[in-house]
Amino acid sequence: MNGILTLLSLIVCAFIVLAVPGFVAPWGVDYGVSSVFDSGRAVLLCAVLATIAGAIIVRQPDDGPFLLKIFVSALLVRMLIGTAIFIFRGQDFFGGDALTYDFLGFSQLQSWTGDRYYSGIVAFGRGGGTSWGMVHLVAAIYLVIGRNLLAVQFFNAVIGAATAVIIYLCALHVFNNIRVARLSAFTVAFYPSLVLWSSQGLKDGPIVFFLALSIWATLMLSRKFDLKFIVVLVGSLFAILSLRFYVFYMITAAVAGSFFIGMQKPTATNFIRQFAIVITIGLALTYLGVTRYANVQIGYYANLEKVQRSRLDSATRGQSGFGQQNDVSTGEGALSTIPLGLVYLLFAPFPWQLASLRQSITLPEMIFWWASFPLLILGLWFSIKYRLRQISPILIFTVMLSLAYSVFQGNVGNAYRQRSQLLVFYFIFVAVGYVLLLEKREERKRRELAEPASISDRIVTTPLSRR
């Protein structure tokens, strides 16, 4: 299997280098160098990052070879999808934000060199959005290899594939079950929408990666105070803040809440350790200027009237809006919107909403997701009943973000895209539900096989005993 994956990796890399040359970038930018050189640089960056990630993954004491196979397979799928989107100019169709980040990232790079014109563009762009982390990430990649959107896509492909490994580690830590962990990793690695969003130059891939990394670091810190995982957790939280600020507040609340609840048995030692971890994280985030940034963001965005304007804008955009009549500018209105918003967040697009090609191609994965939902309920019930403390960071975060999106999302497309931030954790509970049913079926078969044997024993022994 390792030999096959190695051969496939070489074939995919060679195909990308040969398929991209002579191709004009879809946004009409002239890099000033040959396209062969650009695709080669993108593949080289991907290979370096994948090698580093693979070296870390294969050293995992729990199922390292399996994780490496999942990682490489997931990466190759994402590279092929990303290359197809790049070649066939599919950025506008699948995610036009990628072109915006390409332009702003290049502008940020030029600003670092002292270009006043681009400095003004960067300042204007920063005033109109909150994704400065993605802009700086793109600029950093361009600083290393030159302007190359394909390289950004491959960077996201690497961390998208690595997300499956992190979800495996989270599931294994909580449930201590190889089947649950493997199935969780497999679904995250190959579920179509998760593949799609992490194959492009969008911020969705990094957001999901750092969310999973935050949860994993939190679970590791529940065992012992470890400075390494403190650094990982603080870095992940700060990265989330730079990518999507409101998600940062929810994941931070989930992390802090899980430490206060306690993921281990309530003892004096555990309480002191958890309290020390929370204080350390708080001081580190304060040092990074999070509180100052939070005051500005909360003061501007913590206003239901602004949320209502944003929601109404998305709800009236195109033919995929919903709940235009809902008013979330008041607390009562926001609460009344939750049921409908939650249904759309979890299950949209519905079959009667598939009015375009972009919506229709989601049908196969939506059928899989709808069929998996009963397993999600079963797995969630089991987890709450037997693993409540252990799943507390995952549970708190998913509930908070699900409710938040159900309030201010008014567009089917946006709900479908934002769901990826929750799916990676939902699939853990889906895996739990599936394994529960599988184990019950296996137990029933064992009983059925044991039953005839016991009956035959009685038939033979009873007459003999009577003699």
For 258-268, write each residue's pLDDT tens digit: 887 766 666 66
Are the C-beta atoms of residues 340 and 326 closer than 8 Å to each other?
yes
Q: What is the pLDDT of residue 300?
A: 53
Between the ranges 163-167, 219-223, 351-355, where is the mean pLDDT highest?
A: 163-167
Count CB atoms within 10 A of the CB of residue 84.
12
Question: What 3-state DSSP class applies to 411?
Answer: strand
Alpha-carbon distance 133 to 151, whole Å?
17
Q: Domain coordinates of the chain in residue numbers?
A: 1-131+138-177
- The string of pLDDT tens digits covering residues 236-280 is 999 999 998 888 888 988 988 888 776 666 666 777 777 788 888
CA distances from 24 to 44, 106, 147 (A): 20, 18, 14
Question: Which residues are registered as beta bridge partners of 321?
Answer: 411
pLDDT at 303 over 70: no
pLDDT at 129 over 50: yes
Count CB atoms within 10 A of the CB of residue 96.
10
Backbone angles phi, psi at 321, to 5 degrees: -80, 160
Confidence class for position 122, pLDDT limits 50, 70, 90: confident
Alpha-carbon distance 385 to 112, whole Å?
53
Alpha-carbon distance 330 to 338, whole Å?
13
| C-alpha torsion angle, residues 58, 161, 62, 174 (rounded to 10) | 160
Predicted TM-score (pTM) of the model is 0.90
Q: Which residues contact residue 12 at a Cβ distance below 8 angstroms, ignoring those fewer than 6 apart? A: 76, 79, 80
Count CB atoms within 10 A of the CB of residue 112.
15
**Alpha helices in 28-146, H assignment, sequence order:** 35-57, 64-87, 91-95, 97-112, 116-127, 132-145
pLDDT at 446 over 60: yes
Q: What is the pLDDT of residue 34?
A: 41
Confidence class for position 108, pLDDT limits 50, 70, 90: very high
Question: Which residues are registered as beta bridge partners of 411?
Answer: 321
Angle at 293 between CA 337 and CA 242, to 5 degrees: 75
Mean pLDDT score, 180-200: 96
